Structure 1
Amino acid sequence: MKQRVLLKDIAYRKIKEKIMRGDFLDSNSTSENQLVEELQMSRTPIREALQRLQHEGLIKIISNQGIVIQELSIKETNDLFDMRIAIETYSLKKNVGFISQHDFKQLDDIIARQKQACAERDVFSFIQLDGEFHQYLLELGGNSLFIQMMSNIRDRLYFDANRLHKRYPDSIARLIEEHVKITEALKKGDYELAVQELEQHLQNGKITYIS
């Protein structure tokens, strides 16, 4: 039983990573047979992983047709970004006074790795680091419900993020600069500006997605 759970989790992580890397962008779909062949795994853990991904809204399993990667509607995108803005700005307002020099070093390190990913045109790594930056700010507050909710929201958004950033690579450099502005405002102790920069950053992201 333990081995079955482990295989299910491995299949989940591998399929999810393939979605986030944009492996299915051309057809926007895959199949159980294709995943069995690509992952070299049996059908049972793959089926269980697919059920979990469908529950999370990342895919839709269609009988006798295959697995469709779920694209977000304009309304869904707008709603998810509004949720991000509400949660992330609230959390930052509540916890700005508790950010330490260690935290600034961690944020600077994430930004440095983002710049490297941008230079290497590594979209997948950049997207992962973008999530890491926002997750770090959120974890300062320690609200486990916020953290879990934001993880689910980003998973829904990042499939489209991969598509957008491959189409508009210049947007990556702009997003990094916005992360720098947020961090610098925090270092200066200008917490009001930091929250404003964060909100504007997320609003810009929403406009890019919807447009």
Structure 2
Amino acid sequence: MNLPATSLRLSPTTVADQAADALRRKIMSGELPEGFQLRQDALASEFGISRIPVREALVQLEGEGLVRIVPHKGAVVSELSVDEISELFMLRALLEPVLLKKSAPRLTAEDFAQLDAILAEYKQELDAQRMTRWGELNTRLHDVLMSRAGQPRTLAIVATLLQQTDRYTRLQLSLSVDSCRRAEEEHEALVNLCRAGEVRAAAALLKRHIEHACEELEQFILSRRRQ
């Protein structure tokens, strides 16, 4: 089966990581849909590399939840899971507000300049309907907001959760213009509340922001399953 994409020739250095990055982008963008079989020989030919780094890339993506390696079938793009969405977003809704409460009072002028730049870039990408970077910018904003919490272990856990929900976040943002505009407004409100020192209000808004994304995704997937 041919890949539904333009060929990407990879350089010989760190080819497994490059293959993982290329496949991650294809899965995140929806170019490789859920259930799509990822044949090692086809991927190796597509990227111009051997099957060994392709196999390593697939194992890496399995660890991120983007790929399932099925006995006697090989690797397939993971299906969208309501149970997984509920669990991952629940954990984010528990942990991120806690980190924000600790981080917000310590955010610097440089941090706020970076947050403002991310907001401006998100608005630019949104106005141009370039959805490929929405998930990345969302993750960057959340990362900066929590970066001064001083809790490296919890931050590492949340970083993993953000990575694991990135695919879902991109899907949620792509559902409608209203979803994107609401995310933009809530992000701007979060930054402004932190800037004003309204830490409790910011943490409460962050919790609602995450929970709303979860609810919207659950409704979308369940409705699609019923079709």
TM-score (norm. length: structure 1)? 0.89
Runs of 4+ in 1 over 4 A off after TM superposition: none
- The CA distance in 2 between the partners of 1:29 and 1:138, in whole Å, is 37
Q: 2:15 aligns with which of 7, 15, 19?
A: 7
- The CA distance in 1 between the partners of 2:71 and 2:40, in whole Å, is 11
C-alpha contact (below 8 Å) 1:57/1:70 kept by paired residues: yes
C-alpha contact (below 8 Å) 1:84/1:150 kept by paired residues: yes
- The CA distance in 2 between the partners of 1:166 and 1:40, in whole Å, is 32
Q: When you count helix as a share of all residues, which structure comes out higher?
A: 1
- The CA distance in 2 between the partners of 1:34 and 1:203, in whole Å, is 39
Report the CA distance shift for 1:154/1:166 in structure 2 as closer, same or farther (over 3 A).
Answer: same
- The CA distance in 2 between the partners of 1:161 and 1:192, in whole Å, is 24
The aligned residue for residue 83 of structure 2 is 75
Q: 1:198 aligns with which of 202, 206, 209?
A: 206
**Equivalent residues, number:** 209
- Aligned-residue sequence identity (percent) comes to 27
The aligned residue for residue 114 of structure 2 is 106
The aligned residue for residue 61 of structure 1 is 69
Report the CA distance shift for 1:130/1:30 in structure 2 as closer, same or farther (over 3 A).
Answer: same
The aligned residue for residue 119 of structure 1 is 127
Unaligned segments of structure 2, at least 5 residues? 1-10, 220-227
Q: 1:93 aligns with which of 90, 101, 116?
A: 101
C-alpha contact (below 8 Å) 1:60/1:69 kept by paired residues: yes
1:49 and 2:39 aligned = no
TM-score (norm. length: structure 2)? 0.83
C-alpha contact (below 8 Å) 2:193/2:202 kept by paired residues: yes
1:134 and 2:116 aligned = no
- The CA distance in 2 between the partners of 1:157 and 1:197, in whole Å, is 19
The aligned residue for residue 216 of structure 2 is 208
RMSD, matched Cα = 2.1
In the TM superposition, what is the alpha-carbon distance from 1:188 to its structure 2 partner? 1.4
SS at match of 1:141: coil
C-alpha contact (below 8 Å) 1:71/1:160 kept by paired residues: no
Unaligned segments of structure 1, at least 5 residues? none
